[in-house]
């Protein structure tokens, strides 16, 4: 028997919240200097664009039936919050790249439910390096956000 598929009402409501938040960020970034408003307005535009895109897709296509998931793990949630708190505390002292690499690796270990394989480790390392390097380049050179250099990088 097939179940009636439902729209992701929670996701749509979250997207409306993201659109309002993005609009407010865009508006209040007008009080910043021209250079200072680049990053918040870029993020706000992205939030608004992707929220509208999600609303369109969620409205056109109903949710597919979700596959059964594994039970949630409380220790993983607590560890994730601890890693993010450590990232924010150490960012200024250690530096953006070093702290981000360490926290990325910690989050990978925490979030991975499957057995590690050499291929998976290499793939995650290369993807992580590309994402962190790309974020660093975008923030530093395109958006011209001064990133903490700290004692390492």
Q: How confident is the model at residue 69 (pLDDT cuts 50, 70, 90)?
A: low
Q: How confident is the model at residue 1 (pLDDT cuts 50, 70, 90)?
A: very low
- For residues 96 and 110, give the distance between their C-alpha atoms in angstroms, rounded to a whole number: 21
Query: What's the mean pLDDT in 60-69?
Result: 64
Query: What's the mean pLDDT in 51-66?
Result: 81
Element (H, E) at 99: helix 96-111
pLDDT digits (tens, 9 = 90+) for 117-134: 999 999 999 999 999 999
Q: Which two tokens mark 101?
A: 């690499």
pLDDT digits (tens, 9 = 90+) for 94-116: 988 899 999 999 999 898 888 88
Q: Percentage of residues in the chain with pLDDT exceeding 70? A: 88
Q: Which two tokens mark 32?
A: 């910043």
Give residue 10's pLDDT: 84
Range picked from 46-55, 70-79, 135-144 for highest mean pLDDT: 46-55
Q: Where are the beta strands (DSSP E) in the chain?
A: none
Give residue 107's pLDDT: 93
Regarding pTM above 0.75, the answer is: no
Give residue 129's pLDDT: 92
Query: What's the mean pLDDT in 9-34?
Result: 92
Q: Do 48 and 73 meet the contact criterion of CB atoms below 8 Å apart?
A: no
Among 65-69, 92-96, 147-151, the minimum mean pLDDT is found in 65-69
């Amino acid at each position: 028997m097939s179940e009636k598929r439902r729209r992701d009402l929670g996701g749509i409501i979250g997207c409306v919240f993201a659109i309002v938040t993005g609009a407010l960020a865009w508006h209040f970034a007008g009080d910043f200097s021209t250079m200072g408003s680049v990053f918040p307005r870029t993020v706000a535009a992205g939030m608004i664009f992707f929220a509208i895109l999600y609303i369109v897709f969620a409205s056109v296509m109903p949710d597919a039936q979700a596959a059964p998931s594994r039970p949630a793990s409380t220790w993983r949630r607590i560890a994730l919050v601890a890693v993010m708190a450590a990232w924010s505390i150490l960012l200024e002292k250690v530096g953006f790249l070093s702290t981000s690499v360490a926290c990325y690796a910690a989050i990978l270990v925490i979030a991975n439910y499957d057995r590690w394989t050499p291929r998976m480790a290499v793939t995650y390392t290369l993807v992580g390096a590309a994402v962190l390097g790309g974020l660093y380049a975008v923030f530093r050179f395109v958006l011209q956000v001064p990133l903490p250099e700290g004692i390492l990088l």
